[in-house]
Amino acid sequence: MSDFQKDNVALMCDIGELVGLFDFEAGLDSFLAKAVSTVAWHMRAAVCSIYLYDADTRDLVLRANQGLNPNLVGRLRLKIGEGITGAALQEMRPICEAKATDNPKFKYIPGSREELFVSFLAVPILRKMNPVGVIVVQDPQWNYFTPNDVQALQVIASQLAGVIENAYLLMKMRRTEEAQSASGPAAAGQGFGPGTHCIRGQGASDAMGMGLSTRIGQYLAHAETGLACPLGLTEADFDRALAVTERQLLDLQRRLEDRIHDAASMIFGAHVLMLKDEAFSGEIRAQIRAGKNPWTAILDEVRRYADLFAHSPNPALREKVLDIEDLGHRLLHNLSPQTFANNGPDYSGQIVVAEELLPSDILKLSAERAAGLVLLGGGQHSHVAILAKALQIPLVIASDRRLLDLPEKTLLLLDPKEGQIVIRPGPEAIQTMKDLIRSLADAERLAAEVKPETRTRDGVEIQLHANLNLVTELDVALNMKAKGIGLYRTEFPFIVRNTFPTEEEQYWGYRRVLDRMAGRPVVFRTLDIGGDKALSYFPVDHGSNPFLGLRALRFSLRNPEIFKQQLRALLRAAHGNSQAKIMFPMVASLDEFVAARDLARVCQAELEREGVPSRLPELGVMIELPSATLLAAELAEAADFLSIGSNDLIQYLLAVDRTNDEMAPWFSPHHPAVLRSLKLIVDAATRAGKPVSLCGNVGADPRMLPFLLGIGLRTFSLDPMEIPAVQRRIAQIDIDLARYQMNKMLSFGRIEQVAGFLKSIDAAG
């Protein structure tokens, strides 16, 4: 039977199908029973079973089955490592057998009737790399399951893990006694007086924004919501609002997946599950039948859940506070849209003011068309800021807590370039902002200015590549005529999700980037987790200084099961793509690079044994640490290429936290130690005959470009929107003069000497 007939593609893509099967009133076992039936139908398999892990007994328990003896459901238990099923969970990998009895781990279960079935495929279900269970399919036909089936079932296991996780959390919350009521909100501080006010902050994106202020869940904070409770609403109105809300959420999910293929995994899944939870919607309905106005019933129940989540000891539940507040806003709007006046169910035209937001919240607000964001805390280089920049959402980070007390629908202007928030602007400021937004939106004009080639004044060709965080930025990079992708930050699809993406999901994401770049070079940097980039679903104790903790390559080497999944996906994506490359971040020693390289070779050997098409591409090192700088010669000999990560290199050389705005004056790219380190690295690569590039903000600094060209750098990787300006600056530089400036700058031992020299060049024009 062909894979097409098995309908694997439909099963993998229809994420909403599995979520839609969940019914809290019927319970988890009913959901699992429907899930095995759905999987068996799509894969045309005679048997499908789901085992869930019991943490108390450390057993796998058969919780749902189609095709075997139904009497075993709830009774059959396997230890981790017992049978092929237990081995799949123990080894955290799929096990596919043409003939199950050939596997030494095979364990016959009397009375199961599995002697009728020959082919066997078991895939572990993992949540945050913790055991959830195993999904198994079997069939009487020998060698029935193909590599495509393995990949499909891995995606299905990932989808099941997400649904089960949310289900466990919500059901656990339902069993938990209501926490003590949250203490009342602190008295509001002195707010902004009438008229226009300008607040200084730190800009964290290039887009300009204008809109009406709002806080997610603002109407939940006080009994006086400022919104009149509509009269005459009925249970039928509530049911209609419930149905409309579900359709909107599923549509938002589809739109997000179309736009951001690599990071949109069930971002709105918790919202949908909450709607289906009878303890939520059923309780609202019960209150309505008892005589309560539907509006008040929704408001009271949303407040109760928000309070429960906020005071839960479970961090995963605490992170869902914004989910329930957002859901409440949408339900109330759909119940009585006229009460919300200009506000729609989404945040279109509104600037969201919040103390903090998760990366997944940024994605949600992007999908809901928020006009901008104001955050009370964080930094320009935080993962939330980088994500907002990638999605072109205006973001200003400020410290003035009076912003939290702004009345709803206060007109705000955001100028992230200047780090300004203008409150209640006048007519002239509004018109100026409109003109700026129109001019900045003219990306086509900006792209038209970029020449096909970048050359210095004396004709030396320079390669300008783009930095990418998400696949959605590819269009900008291509419009700006980037010669390739010098840095694809693979961690962002991990950061914005609720659980680890599977090997198969990663593979398709990387393939999509390579296909779109059509033969241009693409450098994939492996996971750079840690520091200011944390996974909410995989907590790691980084100590009191996370930038010196378990991060980047250290994290990957410490967690080989995660690292191998990523490496396998990258090696598979590199098949048939000669320009795909892999780069390891935060390499501190030659030993670490060799360990990562050896693991990549192990993955390549595994894929060859499995008959999966793959290729071991060039492997490079990102030089970001002082230790790697001193070992640049050895690393250049061992690696296929080097890339200088200038932002972190400066941070670690100068002991300056680049996310701390208070330390900005000390973050100096023209510090003599930085200049000499850059020269040392480029010289080492040149002697070894290996390519070297520079990635980071220094490459877009017009005053530093002559120095960088002078030491021999010819490839730069930048934010794609910076390419036009950098190209224009390079066209003004003569290489011989750049070498003179470079030697002069290297001769200085004090920062002020370098700064004075640069100032004299600026004055000379």
Residues annotated as catalytic (active site), given as ranges:
383, 695
> Rounded to whole angstroms, how far apart are CA atoms 553 and 561?
13
Full DSSP string of 367-399: HTTBSEEEEES--TTSHHHHHHHHTT--EEEE-
- 134 SS3 class: strand
- Contact between 580 and 524 under an 8 Å Cβ cutoff? The reply is yes
- As separate numbers, helices (DSSP H) first and strands (DSSP E) second, the chain gives 30, 23
Encoded amino acid at 543, one letter:
G
Spatial neighbors of 419 by CB under 8 A, at least 6 apart, are: 200, 201, 202, 203, 396
> Rounded to whole angstroms, how far apart are CA atoms 715 and 421?
37
CB-count exposure of residue 258 (10 Å: 0-12, 13-18, 19+): exposed
- Cβ atoms within 10 Å of 177's Cβ, excluding its own: 6
Q: What are the φ/ψ torsions at residue 585 (nearest 5 degrees)?
A: -90, 155
- Contact between 352 and 322 under an 8 Å Cβ cutoff? The reply is no
The per-residue b/e assignment along 475-513, b for 16 or more CB within 10 angstroms, e otherwise, is: ebbbbbbbbbbbbbbbbbbbbbbbbbbbbbbbbbbbbeb
Spatial neighbors of 140 by CB under 8 A, at least 6 apart, are: 46, 116, 117, 118, 119
- Contact between 297 and 191 under an 8 Å Cβ cutoff? The reply is no
- Strand pairing of 47-54 and 59-66? antiparallel
Structure-block tokens of residue 735: 């290489």
Provide the β-strand partners of residue 642: 621, 692
- 299 SS3 class: helix
- 129 SS3 class: coil
- Contact between 134 and 85 under an 8 Å Cβ cutoff? The reply is yes
Structure-block tokens of residue 716: 């730069």
E strand map for 436-531: 454-455, 461-468, 485-489, 522-525
